[in-house]
Homo-oligomer: A and B are copies of this chain.
Amino acid sequence: MKTGKTVITDPFWLRYRSLVRHEMIPYQWKVLNDEIDVRIERERNDPSIPNEKSHALENFRIAAGIHEGHHYGWVFQDSDVYKWLEAVAWSLMEEPDEDLKKLADSVVDLIALAQEPDGYLGTYFTIEEPDRKYKSLMNSHELYCAGHFMEAAAAYYEATGSRKVLETAKKLAAHIERELGPEGTFGYDGHEEVEIGLMKLYHLTGEERYLRLGSYFLRIRGTDADFFGDQQKTDSGSEPLIGGMGVFSRRYFQAHRPPVQQDTAEGHAVRMVYLCTAMADAAASEGDKEMLEACRRIWRNIVDRRMYITGGIGSTVHGEAFTFDYDLPNDTMYCETCASVGLVFFASQMLRSESIGEYGDVMERALYNTVLAGTALDGKHFFYVNPLEVNPSASMWDPGKSHVKPVRPQWLGCACCPPNLARLLASVDRYIYTVKDDRCLVNLYISSETEVPVSGGTARITQETDYPKSGTVRIRVGAPENGAFDLGLRIPGWSRTYGVTLDGAAADESSFENGYFYIRKLAGEHEIVLNLGMKPRLYKADPRVRADLGKAAMTRGPLVYCLEEADNGKDLHLLSIDPAGEVQEEEEKGELGDIIRITAAGKRIREPEETERLYRSADESAVQEETVRLRFIPYYTWANRGSNEMCVWVRTI
């Protein structure tokens, strides 16, 4: 059962979707086509990011035999094109456009031309090392790229009905099945993704072979003694496909044990959540309880011990990876945009198996904070790394923080994040509802219109809200008169007070279950009004999180707030907040968009005189403080006013 088309009418999200359509897609097209002289922001002292241009489309032209030349860029450069194509697909579903469709069709044609007659698709190996196909799966990203193409193809077929894109994807899937499926050579990709792509093909076509193949890759992973190492030993290629990757352990690839036996979130964070997304999809699609249990364990580990309050994941730049429980440093972390995109995917898939509000809470947390912070308000600058604390001097002078940028670069040497962000923003309508067995969960509050299939016909659901500015959501339902479906309203974990009315009368409070408030057995026309308390609230972290001890984070509704130097002056660490002080909300329409600014009572330690010593006897060194108002802005709007300090966690008085 699939939800029908959802039309977003929400100003907050229409702005982002318009950015995707009118800024990101055209801009990223030019980047992929080398039409823009992008000043790539290189990681300081990091020779592992060599790219000065994209060349991604040119690689396809060369592989297709249209142009002569060599492959340029990462071995996974193709995936940038696929993610762009997927974003286009979602955007075309929202708003058809013949010119954009023609452009995208030409890309599909190019991809099909670059595909080899046997179905193989991968420009690096076609152009440079045809004999090395599938022979260095630890780093080759061949199945990773294939998975992204399958995802793009499924979306593009849905958007346009293009047979060509679907046939190309099916031919590729068949090639992979033949070469690496249960009857082929043993092997799986170092970067999970093909499993997701295969599931998408399965959901689109209903053909079980794709589900089986995806599930097969999930099941063989980590069952080997040392598959990657063995392949490396016999690898005929002279050069490592990605420099510096030899040092990572099997844990980095989530290959230290079979996924179904894993308990904790390990290694490269994007890989981990892509794996989880596929596992949760397989668990829901196959009804596999053991797989679901593994998903639950890893979910608990992430959400209880390894996730930032912004929904960011990945505590270290080294391997862009998880580290250990409660290790959540705010100024050296990674929190890759792609990882939070993946966390949204994972949460969404879990909702297919379990109607638990926490999945929606985390989805919302990641989406409204880290994912949105991944793009500048102009839609043309992007973060790969999303810090919770930034000092531009540290980014400049401490090489251990050089990956933490105080401003969003125009593009990134490893350009996975911008198109990943684009495809999620363009498809955010797909995450609003989860529909299953006459139950429709409302996960996200976004003004929109949709139709969902229920017993007896179709239910029409309309949301009207000014969320997240306002906590009032007006939902009109038109259900079949002879039908009866349950509507579950997510009551966010952050919401201390809420009220639900059904046709003007208070709804039955006993209907709350696992984070959802249910209006049961709906039939006919109804109006439901949800009121969520949106008072600003301070949060504290578990005291085992060393970095946050003695600190608090300001939030309002789903939004995490932060302090910026632009509003609060330099040396943000000298500020502290009075948890008992007065908090004010101010609506503001300005350079940060239409936001609620929060001010709170606080103090600032005065900088000592220059004559003071660096270390002073404690009883002689009472700090001088002055009373100040702290000015908070939503985290997703930070770094839109030039390079400056920022912090989410503020010392408490």
Q: Which of B400, B537, B571 contacts A317 (CB 8 A)?
A: B400
Residue among A393, A614, A618, A621 with most chain B CB within 10 A: A614
A552 at the interface (CB under 8 A from B): yes
A496 to B617, CA, bound (A): 10
A19 at the interface (CB under 8 A from B): no
B324 near A539 with CB under 8 A, answer no
A65 at the interface (CB under 8 A from B): no
A309 at the interface (CB under 8 A from B): yes
A47 to B332, CA, bound (A): 22
Q: Which of B315, B318, B542, B574 contacts A608 (CB 8 A)?
A: B542
Q: Which of B316, B540, B573, B605 contacts A615 (CB 8 A)?
A: B540
Residues from chain B with Cβ under 8 Å of A305 in the complex: 614
A402 to B527, CA, bound (A): 58
B332 near A400 with CB under 8 A, answer yes
Residue of B at shortest CB range from A554?
Answer: B618
A619 near B538 with CB under 8 A, answer yes
Q: Which of A298-355 contact B (CB under 8 A)?
A: 303-305, 307, 309, 315-319, 323-324, 327, 332
- Smallest distance from the beta carbon of A244 to chain B beta carbons, Å? 9
A506 to B307, CA, bound (A): 64
B247 near A47 with CB under 8 A, answer yes
Q: Which of B397, B400, B579 contacts A324 (CB 8 A)?
A: B397
A546 at the interface (CB under 8 A from B): yes
A20 to B203, CA, bound (A): 72
B539 near A617 with CB under 8 A, answer yes
Chain A contact-residue range equals 35 or more
In the complex, the count of this chain's copies comes to 2
- Smallest distance from the beta carbon of A253 to chain B beta carbons, Å? 15
Q: Known contacts being A316-B398, A400-B400, A579-B619, is A614 close to B247, with CB within 8 Å?
A: no
Residues from chain B with Cβ under 8 Å of A538 in the complex: 617-619
Residue among A309, A391, A613 with most chain B CB within 10 A: A613
A393 to B323, CA, bound (A): 9
A618 near B332 with CB under 8 A, answer no
- Smallest distance from the beta carbon of A332 to chain B beta carbons, Å? 6
B394 near A614 with CB under 8 A, answer no
Residue of B at shortest CB range from A625?
Answer: B543
A398 to B317, CA, bound (A): 9
A601 at the interface (CB under 8 A from B): no
Residues from chain B with Cβ under 8 Å of A539 in the complex: 615-618
- Smallest distance from the beta carbon of A308 to chain B beta carbons, Å? 9
Residues from chain B with Cβ under 8 Å of A316 in the complex: 398-400
B615 near A45 with CB under 8 A, answer no
A552 near B618 with CB under 8 A, answer yes
- Smallest distance from the beta carbon of A515 to chain B beta carbons, Å? 13
A613 near B327 with CB under 8 A, answer no
A95 at the interface (CB under 8 A from B): no
A70 at the interface (CB under 8 A from B): no
Residues from chain B with Cβ under 8 Å of A544 in the complex: 571, 574, 607-608
Residue of B at shortest CB range from A606?
Answer: B543
B318 near A45 with CB under 8 A, answer yes
A574 near B543 with CB under 8 A, answer yes
Which A residues fall within an 8 A CB radius of B? 45, 47, 247, 303-305, 307, 309, 315-319, 323-324, 327, 332, 391, 393-394, 396-400, 493, 496, 537-546, 549-550, 552-553, 571, 573-574, 579, 605, 607-608, 612-619, 621, 623, 651-652
